[in-house]
């Protein structure tokens, strides 16, 4: 996973909507009572807790020790693990993932690793950023990064596939794709674009000095204002979700 340090409290403050809006993909899982379910990229465990309350025997995994600690603090089993190389075989009835797969930039390794972790007939139900996701933010980050002397193409930390690309990758590792949908979802940002950038633009900020960080974020914000700030000063992000269900055949 691309390195990004996560602070569970800040994440909840600036991006609590990520889990709230992730409810729709939970519905695609169907009944989970008594089933072993892996939450891949569990973050602070909000949705893992929902899965547990639906009767699943859950395990959360995340690349961030701080997020795993936040999940465990809810009384939910969780482990630090890399989605590219999950240490499980034929173990889970379902693998669930919300808003995490786009941070894992070697998708074939991730999909192979999820396929291995599932029992035969197990399902992989996920939502992630899809093709065109946060396109305006990506362009503004690239422009500002170049202005600050960085190589944006080498930093770009996300993988936002089209439905056809993701379906092809799933099939090549042995999944049968049952559903695959690209869903534009403009999303209000409760703490504005600066809050969003503070939460998610870490991979860019790591390459800048402390003195450069705020001017960089302000430059990105200024580039985005004509597109993503409305006349009353409210910000939204141009999210595009890719939602899918695939079966281990
Ligand atoms: C997303 O959930 O789509 C996302 C969040 C932060 C950065 C990029 C994408």
Question: Residues 23-52: pLDDT tens digits?
Answer: 889 999 999 999 999 999 999 999 999 999
| C-beta separation of 195 from 165 below 8 A | no
- The pLDDT assigned to 3 comes to 54
**Would you say the pTM of this structure is higher than 0.75?**
yes
Radius of gyration of the chain (CA): 18
pLDDT tens per residue across span 183-233: 999 999 999 999 999 999 999 999 999 999 999 999 999 999 999 999 999
**Which residue has its alpha carbon closest to ligand 1 atom 2?**
99
- The pLDDT assigned to 5 comes to 79
**Mutation probe of ligand 1 site: the residue of 131, 158, 242 with most atoms within 8 A of C-beta:** 158
Distance CA 38, CA 44 (A): 14
Residues touching ligand 1 (Cβ under 6 Å) are: 99, 102, 129, 133-134, 158, 200, 239
Exposed/middle/buried for 139, CB within 10 Å: 0-12, 13-18, 19+?
middle
- Rounded to the nearest 10 degrees, how much is the dihedral formed by the CA atoms of 105, 111, 112, 113? 80
Give the Å distance between the CA of 94 and the centre of ligand 1.
23
Neighbours of 245 (CB within 10 A): 20
Rounded average pLDDT over 106-134: 98
Give the Å distance between the CA of 153 and the centre of ligand 1.
17
Q: DSSP character for 41?
A: T
Ordered structural domains, the chain, with CATH: 8-134+158-189+236-248 (3.40.50.150)
Give the Å distance between the CA of 249 and the centre of ligand 1.
30
Distance CA 191, CA 14 (A): 6
């Amino acid at each position: 996973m691309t390195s990004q340090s996560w602070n569970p409290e800040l994440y909840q403050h600036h991006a609590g909507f990520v889990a709230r809006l992730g409810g729709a993909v939970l519905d695609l899982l169907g009944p989970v009572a008594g089933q072993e379910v892996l939450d891949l990229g569990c973050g602070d465990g909000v949705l893992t807790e929902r899965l547990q309350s639906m009767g699943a025997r859950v395990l959360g995994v995340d690349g961030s020790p701080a997020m795993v600690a936040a999940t465990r603090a809810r009384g939910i089993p969780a482990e630090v693990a890399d989605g590219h190389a999950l240490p499980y075989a034929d173990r889970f009835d379902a693998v669930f993932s919300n808003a995490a797969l786009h941070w894992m930039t070697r998708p074939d390794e991730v999909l192979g690793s999820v396929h291995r972790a599932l029992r035969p007939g197990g399902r992989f139900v996920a939502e992630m950023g899809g093709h065109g996701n946060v396109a305006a933010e990506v362009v503004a980050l690239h422009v500002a990064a170049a202005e600050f002397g960085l190589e944006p193409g080498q930093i770009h930390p996300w993988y936002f596939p089209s439905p056809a690309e993701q379906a092809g990758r799933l099939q090549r590792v042995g999944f049968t794709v049952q559903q695959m949908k690209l869903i534009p979802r403009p999303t209000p940002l409760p703490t504005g674009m600066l809050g969003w950038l503070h939460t998610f633009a870490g991979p860019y900020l790591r390459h800048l000095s402390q003195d450069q960080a705020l001017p960089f974020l302000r430059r990105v914000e200024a580039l985005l204002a004509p597109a993503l700030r409305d006349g009353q000063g409210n910000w939204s992000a141009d999210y595009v979700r890719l939602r899918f269900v695939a079966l281990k055949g």
